[in-house]
Structure 1
Amino acid sequence: MRKLLFILVIVMAIGGVLGLLMRQDSGYVLIAYNGITIETSVWVLVAALIVALFVLSWVKRILFIILRPSNSLSRITDNLASKRATKNTIRGMLELVGGNWRKAEKLLTNSANNVAYPLINYIGAAYAANEQDEHERSKALLRTAHKSSPEAEFAIGFAQSQIQMRQGHYEGALASLIRLQKLKPKHRQILKMLVAVYTKLKDWDALLELTPTLKKEGIFDNDNMLELEKNAFLALLNKITFRNKLGESNKELVTDVEKLWNKLDTLSQDDHMRQLYTQTLISFKDEEKAESFIRHSLNKKWSNDLIYEYGNLRELAAKKLLANCENWLKKETSSANLLLVCGRLSQSLRLWGKAKDYYEQAFSLDSQNEALAELSRLLKAMGDTKASQDIVMVSLNQASNRLKTLPLPQEH
C-alpha cells in the first residue's frame, strides 16, 4: 500500500512539473519537407512520439506472432484443434459402445491425426468397421494403427485376434493368439480366447496341453474347468474308441486312456466321468485296472454309480470282490446298488441263499432297482415259481402305477 502511494506521489509530482513547464513555455517546432510543413509545440511532438513508439511496439509484436512458425497463434490454433479432436474421440468411443458403428468410425478416424495418441482411435475405428462387415477397411485401420504406434504390438494384436474371432477366422485368430501368448504367457484373457479357439477348431490335443497352465493361473473356476475337461475327454475318448474298431491292440488303447485320464485330474470329481472311465477299461479287457481304479476311487469318494460297475467285472476272483463289497457295506448300509452287486457276486459263487437275502435288501431300499428282476429269476431257478410270479406281479403293479390315466374299453 505504501509503495503504491509513493508511486502515485512521484507520478503526480512529475505531472505537476511538466504542467508548469508547459505553461511557462510550450516551445515551437517546425518541420518542413518537400513542400510539406508541420508546425506544433514541443510537448505535442513529444506526446506524438510516445504514442508512435507504443503503436510500433504492438505492431512489432503482432508481426512476430504471425510470421514466426512456432508462434503463439499457431499454438492456440493447435490447442483448439487438439481439444476438438479429443472431444470427438470421446464421442466416437461413446458411439462405439452404443453400437452406432458408422458414426463411431467416422468420428474416431477424422480425429485421429489431432490427438496425442491416435492408437485408440484407429483400434476403435477398426472394431466399428468390422461390425459393419467392412473387413478390408478394418484390416487397413489396424495397419495404420501399427504405423502410428509400432511399440503397441500387443494391444494391436489383441484387437486383431478379437476381430478375427468375430469374423469366424479361427485359424488366423489362433496364429495371432499364439504370438501374443509368447509375449505374455500368463495373460488371462489370451488364455481364455485360446480355449475358445481350440474348442471351435476341435483341437482337443492342444487344449489338453493348455490345461496345466489354466489350472496354475486359476483361469476358470472348478465347474467351468470340469466342463472343459469333460468335453476334451469325451472327444479324445471317441478317437481312442474308433482306433479300437480299427483293430488296434487293447493294451495300447488302455495306456492312452490312462494317460488321458491322469492329465485331466478334475474329472475325478464327476461320478459320471469316473463311471465312463471304468466302463472304457472294462470294454478294453483290462478288468484289473478297472477294479483297482474303482476300489481306490470309492475309498476316497463313494459313488452309487461307480459301485454298480464292480458287478460287471467277470474275469476276476468273485470271492475277493465280494469281500471288498462286504467291507464297504459296513459303512454304506443304505446303498441299494452295493447290495445288488453283493447279490450278484454271491450268486456267481453259487451262494443262493446269500444272494437272495442281498437282493431282497436292495429291493427294500429301492423298488426300482434291478435286484427285483434278479430275485425273480433266482427264485424261479430255485423252484419257487409262486414267489417268482409274485415278484413279477409286484413289478407290473409298480409299472402300472407309473402309467397315465387313459380311458379303457368297458367289459359287457
Structure 2
Amino acid sequence: MKRLLFVLLSSAVIIAGYAMYSKNDLGLMRVSFAEYYFEASLFEVGVVALAVILIMLLLSFLYRLIIDYASLFGKKRSERLAEKARHSLEQGLIELAEGRFDRAEKILLQKVKHTENPLLTYLAAARAAQHQGAHDRRDDYIRQAHHSAPDADIAIGLTQAELQLDHNQLEQALATLNHLNALSPHHPYVLKLLAETHDRLGDWERLRELLPDVKKANVMNKEKLLSLEIDTLCGLISDRGKTGDVNRVTELWDMMPRNMKAIPEVVEYYATELIRLHASGEAEQVLRDYLSNHWVESSVVLYSELDVMAGEQHISAAEDWLQDHRHNEYLLYALGKMCLSRNDWSKARTYLEASLSVKPMPATYLKLAQLLEDHLEDNKQAQEYYRQGLHMLVGDYGEQALANAENDFQRAIVVPELRVI
C-alpha cells in the first residue's frame, strides 16, 4: 500500500511538473448534460483525478489501519480473558482436588464463557456439585458439557455414569451405560462400569452374559475379574435356591466351568445352599470330593458342621485326611460326629477328646458331654464338659459363679447357643 501511494504521488508530481514546464496546450475537456456543462483543461482533469484516487487510497489505508488496531486490541483482550479462564480452571481443579467443593464450583464457572476448554470445566463443575449433593446442578453442568462438545458423548456419558454410581444411583447409571454401550459397543471402560453396576444391582444373569466381553476387553486385573466371577456364580446359586428347587441349583453346578468348581468360596456357597435346601447328603459329597483334592480350612470347618448318616466310605475318606492333618481340630470333630452317627461311642469319644486337645471349642464340649451323659453313663465328666463349654461360650465370670457343676449343667440345658447341628 505504501509503495503504491509513493508511485502514484511520484507520477502526479512528474506529470504536473512536466506540464507546467512545457507550457504546451494539452487541450480542453467539455462535459455537458441538458443545460449544464463542465469545461476544463486535460491537465486540470488529470490533477483532479489523481487527487481523488489519492484520497480514496488514503481513506482505504486509514480504514485498514483502524481495523488492524481494533483487531489487535480485541485479540489482546481475548488473550487476557483466555488467560484468566485458564487460571480459573487451574485454580478450580486445585480446589476440587483439595476437597473445597463449593469454592471449586464457583471458581470454575467464573470465566467459563471465555475458556478454551468448556468441556473440562463443566465436567469438573459437575463433580464439585456431586460432592455437595447438588444433583440438579450436576445434571445441568452435564447438559452444558454436551452443548459445548456435541461429539464428546462417550467422555461426558462416562463422567455422568461415574457420578451416578458414586451417589448409588444404580438404575440411572445403568441407563446411561446402556446408552453408551449402544453408541460404542465393546468400549472397554463402558463394559467395566456395566459389569460393576450389574454386580451392585445383583443382576447376575445379565452379568453372566457380560463377563465374556469383559474378559476380552482386558479392563480388569485377574483378582478383580475372579472376584466378579465368584460373585456372579454365588448370586446365581442364591437366586435358584430361592425357588426351593434343589434340582435347579444342582443343574447350575453341573454347568459351571471346572476351574470355578475348584474355588473354595464357590464350593462352600454351593454346599451351604444345599444344606439350606435339606440336601446335606449332596453337600457332604461335594465337600468330600473337594477336600480330597484341595485342603482348605474353611471348607473343613463347613464339613465338620454337617450332620449326616456317615457310611464307611465317608469315615474312610476322612481318616485318610488324618495322615496329613492329624492335628486339625475341625477334622477330628467331624470324625467324632460321624462315629456318633454310626453309634461307635468309643471311637467318637476318642476323636472328640483329640479335637479338644488340639483346640477346645464349645461345640466339641457339648457333643462330648452329650455322648458321656446319654450313652456312656459318665454324668460327672459330662457335667464337667458342660461347665467348660459354657465357660468358654459365655466368658469368665469367676470361679465362684461356676463352682456348682450341677447349676452349670442346668444352665447349659437352657442355653440354645450350645445346641449345634
TM-superposed deviation, 1:320 = 0.8
TM-superposed deviation, 1:169 = 4.3
Q: Which amino acid aligns with 1:301?
A: H
Residue 363 of structure 1 aligns with which residue?
Answer: 356
Residue 327 of structure 1 aligns with which residue?
Answer: 320
Q: Distance in 2 between matches of 1:233 and 1:162?
A: 26
| Candidates 89, 103, 110, aligned match of 2:113 | 110
| Candidates 84, 88, 95, aligned match of 2:85 | 88
TM-superposed deviation, 1:101 = 4.2
TM-superposed deviation, 1:361 = 1.9
CA contact (8 A) 1:108 1:121 kept: no
Q: Distance in 2 between matches of 1:129 and 1:108?
A: 17
TM-superposed deviation, 1:277 = 2.2
CA contact (8 A) 1:96 1:128 kept: no
Other structure's SS at 2:347 match: helix
Q: Which amino acid aligns with 2:308?
A: R
TM-superposed deviation, 1:178 = 2.3
Residue 390 of structure 1 aligns with which residue?
Answer: 381
Q: Deviations over 1:139-163 (max 9, x none)?
A: 4554444344332221222233234
TM-superposed deviation, 1:340 = 2.3
For structure 1, list consecutive stretches of 5 or more residues without a partner in the other structure. 1-28, 30-55
Q: Distance in 1 between matches of 2:297 and 2:145?
A: 60
TM-aligned CA distance change 1:404 to 1:62, over 3 Å: farther
TM-aligned CA distance change 1:353 to 1:400, over 3 Å: closer
Other structure's SS at 1:297 match: helix
Q: Distance in 2 between matches of 1:281 and 1:313?
A: 13
For structure 2, list consecutive stretches of 5 or more residues without a partner in the other structure. 1-20, 22-55, 96-100, 402-421
Q: Does 1:314 align with 2:308?
A: yes
TM-superposed deviation, 1:377 = 3.5
Q: Distance in 1 between matches of 2:300 and 2:176?
A: 47
Q: Distance in 2 between matches of 1:239 and 1:227?
A: 18
Q: Does 1:337 align with 2:334?
A: no
TM-superposed deviation, 1:88 = 1.4
Compute the RMSD of aligned alpha carbons: 4.1
Residue 120 of structure 1 aligns with which residue?
Answer: 120
TM-score between the two structures when normalised by the length of structure 2: 0.64
Kindly report which structure 2 residues correspond to 1:111-150, keeping only aligned pairs within 5 A, or say none: 111-112=114-115, 115=116, 117-128=117-128, 138-139=138-139, 141-150=141-150
TM-superposed deviation, 1:330 = 0.8
Q: Distance in 2 between matches of 1:293 and 1:139?
A: 51
TM-aligned CA distance change 1:118 to 1:343, over 3 Å: closer
TM-superposed deviation, 1:111 = 1.3
Q: Distance in 1 between matches of 2:302 and 2:354?
A: 19
TM-aligned CA distance change 1:284 to 1:255, over 3 Å: farther
TM-aligned CA distance change 1:213 to 1:344, over 3 Å: same
Q: Which amino acid aligns with 1:361?
A: A
Q: Distance in 2 between matches of 1:125 and 1:373?
A: 63
TM-superposed deviation, 1:356 = 3.0
Residue 220 of structure 2 aligns with which residue?
Answer: 219
Q: Distance in 2 between matches of 1:208 and 1:376?
A: 48
- Name whichever of 231-240 and 149-158 sits farther off: 231-240
Other structure's SS at 1:255 match: helix
TM-superposed deviation, 1:393 = 1.2
Other structure's SS at 1:385 match: coil
CA contact (8 A) 1:291 1:310 kept: yes
Q: Deviations over 1:40-66 (max 9, x none)?
A: xxxxxxxxxxxxxxxx99997554232
| Candidates 246, 258, 263, aligned match of 1:268 | 263
TM-score between the two structures when normalised by the length of structure 1: 0.65
Kindly report which structure 2 residues correspond to 1:62-211, keeping only aligned pairs within 5 A, or say none: 62-67=62-67, 71=68, 73-75=70-72, 77-98=74-95, 99=101, 100-112=103-115, 115=116, 117-128=117-128, 138-139=138-139, 141-165=141-165, 169-182=169-182, 183=184, 185-188=186-189, 190-211=190-211
Residue 26 of structure 2 aligns with which residue?
Answer: none
CA contact (8 A) 1:104 1:125 kept: no
CA contact (8 A) 1:304 1:338 kept: no
CA contact (8 A) 2:88 2:110 kept: yes
Q: Which amino acid aligns with 1:314?
A: V
CA contact (8 A) 1:177 1:194 kept: yes
CA contact (8 A) 1:229 1:266 kept: no
Q: Which amino acid aligns with 2:323?
A: K
Q: Which amino acid aligns with 2:377?
A: T
Q: Distance in 2 between matches of 1:135 and 1:380?
A: 67
TM-aligned CA distance change 1:363 to 1:405, over 3 Å: closer
Q: How many residues align?
A: 336
- Name whichever of 340-349 and 230-239 sits farther off: 230-239
Q: Which amino acid aligns with 2:170?
A: Y
Q: Deviations over 1:312-367 (max 9, x none)?
A: 3636x611111111111111111122122223333433434333322332222222
CA contact (8 A) 2:308 2:338 kept: no
TM-superposed deviation, 1:228 = 5.2
